[in-house]
Amino acid sequence: MTAQQGFFVFFSLVTLIAGLRVVTARNLFHAAIWLVLALAGVAALFAVLDAGLLAAVQVLIYIGAIAILIIFAIMLTRGMMAPERRRLNSWSSTGAVVSLVLLIVLVQAIIAFPWATPGAALAEPPADSVVTLGKALVDPNQFVLPFELASVLLLVALIGGIFVARERRGGE
Amino acid sequence: MDPFSSIAVALENLLASLGFADWLIDLIMAVLRSAILGTVALLAFMFLTWLERKLIGRMQDRLGPTYAGPIGILQPIADGIKTLTKEIVVPKGADRWIYFSGPILAAMAALAVFAVIPFGPDTGNGPLVGTALNVGLVYVLAAGAAGIVATIMAGWGSNNKFAVLGTFRAVAQLISYEVPQLLSLVAVAMVAGTMDMVKIVDAQTVPFIFPLFVTALLFLISGVAESGRSPFDLLEADSEIVAGFHIEYSAMMFALVQMAEYIHAFAISCIVVTVFLNGWAWPFLPGLAPIWFLVKCFAVFFILIWFRGTLPRFRIDQMMAFNWQFMVPLALVNVIVVAVVDRALSDAAGWTSASQPWGWGLVMFAANAVMLLAALGLMSLKGREARMRDAEKARSQSAVAATGR
């Protein structure tokens, strides 16, 4: 067990346990904090696999923006302070069936994927991986189209959000 | 070979001669490095509290602390003893886990920034830095973002409506001012060609504050707003929200919150020095680069103290308007102007920051000056319009009042 494998196992355990606690915590705010821990665990996994930029961006965007907005939404929900809410509503049986189907699909996909042989060393990332990533995002033969479309999508969401949340003047 | 590297090499040789395995030596040296970095940050925090109180006192025409020690230099120690011996009062109904981990996480996030700041040159044993990440700039911002979650935890865990209100405002301010901070660092990364802090110090043939001073201003102002210092200290001012999100903390927990804030402000100064003032390098004092680097960091922190002693506080809506209507557009225009001018210079005249530093610096300075003057001119025009509108409204209102009587 090399050090990299040891760290991988440790951070995977942290992520999995935090993810489990997100859905089983009774207090909604605690669930949000467990979510922050799960996202931090994923960032640590990126760092273990030598993807430094992805780890930093994961913390910056997921924890620094998305988790904060989730917590805002939770805090602005009325009645959230009562810790003893019913955990299951009338959709729970349908939800169980859908989760089971999703589990089967995901397990099939994982089994069918051509993974590397277990125990083989990980491939070394290129020395200038950040430069390669940057060039790949703007290269017309590679990923410029998805990149630009994602930007347009974000712009549309931003404008839509501002439009939906604008102040209504009297009479509207 | 400067003294710090020599000590490190001697220690490694001693451990190797004692028969420790290679990986154990690496582990011990890494732990020692982190301990030293943390200690330097905390000692700086102690010194900075004293410095701030003395300087604010002088700016307000009084002396500041004078009792503890010769010029009050032992005041931080007195503060520490008082803080340690006070009782930690946990409010009833507070969520214990979140209440206690909020300030701890805030202090962790503030200290994490120091891992990537280079303190000295590469004298054969690697640069004097915690870890030379190739994405150091983004890491610095991510550490600040992690501190925001800690603020939320502190405010929510206190079981106090004022704390939650303070948290809302604090988070709104903090996530808003991340945007111009990030955009200004984008301009720096474009010009330096790298996000590695060690390489940015090397890439500054002319200190970036000169050709990129609008960027430096943007980063300094948003850094002050990020660390919650005056004039952006609406979050914790007594006359506004009675200490805001840390109202229910006493003794050591409050000291942790204060520590997180000061260390964050000091980290911002260190980043400004590294990225804009050429880090440990300019002007170069041989052999004692870390001391010179710390002196420059204290000089930048003096500017932050100066802000605090001089400027009145912003209201929350003024702060948001300032960010979204002035800083973010200016930051976007800045990125475009820097990119265009840098590229035009290197294509047309072959002047880059490497080949012709002072010529390149002068042209970039001129472009920045034009941009800043245009921005300020636009702001003053809008200000004049607003003033005339207000005067018009006041005149018409007084006319109505005069005829209506």
Cβ distance of B156 and A75 shorter than 8 Å:
yes
Cβ distance of B149 and A27 shorter than 8 Å:
no
Nearest to B327 by CA among B227, B164, B184: B184
With bands split at pLDDT 50, 70 and 90, how would you rate the model's confidence at A10? very high
As a whole number of angstroms, the distance between CA A11 and CA A14 comes to 5
Question: Residue B255 has what pLDDT?
Answer: 87
List chain B residues with CB under 8 Å of A56: 135, 138-139, 141-142
Q: What is the pLDDT of residues B114-162, one digit of tens each?
A: 888 888 777 666 677 777 788 889 999 999 888 899 988 888 888 777 7
Task: Please state the pTM of the whole predicted model.
Answer: 0.88
Task: Yes or no: say if A60 and A50 are a contact pair by the CB < 8 Å rule.
Answer: no
Is A90 a domain residue?
no
Total count of domains within chain A: 2
Is there a single domain that holds both residue A66 and residue A10? Answer: yes
Task: Yes or no: say if B171 and B148 are a contact pair by the CB < 8 Å rule.
Answer: yes
As a whole number of angstroms, the distance between CA B125 and CA B123 comes to 6
* Closest CA in chain B for residue A74: B156
Is A101 a domain residue?
no
Minimal C-alpha gap between B285 and chain A (Å): 32
Nearest residue, CB atoms, B133 vs list A52, A60, A75: A52
Least confident of A53-57, B5-9, B168-172, B256-260: B5-9
Query: What is the average pLDDT score of chain B?
Result: 85
Cβ distance of A29 and B95 shorter than 8 Å:
yes
Nearest residue, CB atoms, B142 vs list A3, A60, A67: A60
As a whole number of angstroms, the distance between CA B100 and CA B249 comes to 9
Is A113 a domain residue?
no
Is A78 a domain residue?
yes
Backbone conformation region of residue B198, classed left if phi is above 0, alpha if psi is from -120 to 50, else beta: alpha
List chain A residues with CB under 8 Å of B135: 52-53, 56, 130
Q: What is the pLDDT of residues B66-122, one digit of tens each?
A: 888 888 888 888 888 988 888 888 888 777 888 888 889 999 999 998 888 888 777
Where among A55, A82, A109 does a domain terminate? A82
Contacts of A113 (CB under 8 A, 6+ apart): none
Cβ distance of A36 and B149 shorter than 8 Å:
yes
DSSP string, A64-86: IIIHHHHHHHHHTSTTTT-S---
Q: What is the pLDDT of residues B213-261, one digit of tens each?
A: 999 999 999 999 988 787 887 776 655 556 667 777 777 888 888 889 8
Whether the per-residue pLDDT at A124 is higher than 90: the answer is no
Q: Which residues pair with B120 in a beta bridge?
A: B128
List chain A residues with CB under 8 Å of B181: none
Is A105 a domain residue?
no
Of all residues in chain B, what percent carry a pLDDT higher than 70?
Answer: 93
Whether the per-residue pLDDT at A172 is higher than 70: the answer is no
* Structure tokens given for B145: 């973002």
Helix (H, G, I), strand (E, B) or coil at B128: strand
Q: Domain range spanning residue A13?
A: 1-82
Q: What is the pLDDT of residues A71-113, one digit of tens each?
A: 888 877 766 656 666 667 788 889 999 999 999 999 999 998 8
With bands split at pLDDT 50, 70 and 90, how would you rate the model's confidence at B171? confident
Higher-pLDDT residue of B164 and B125 is B164
Domain coordinates in residue numbering, chain B: 3-404
Cβ distance of B171 and A57 shorter than 8 Å:
no
The chain A residues in contact with chain B (CB within 8 A) are: 3, 27, 29-30, 33, 36, 40, 52-53, 56-57, 59-60, 63-65, 67-68, 71-72, 75, 130
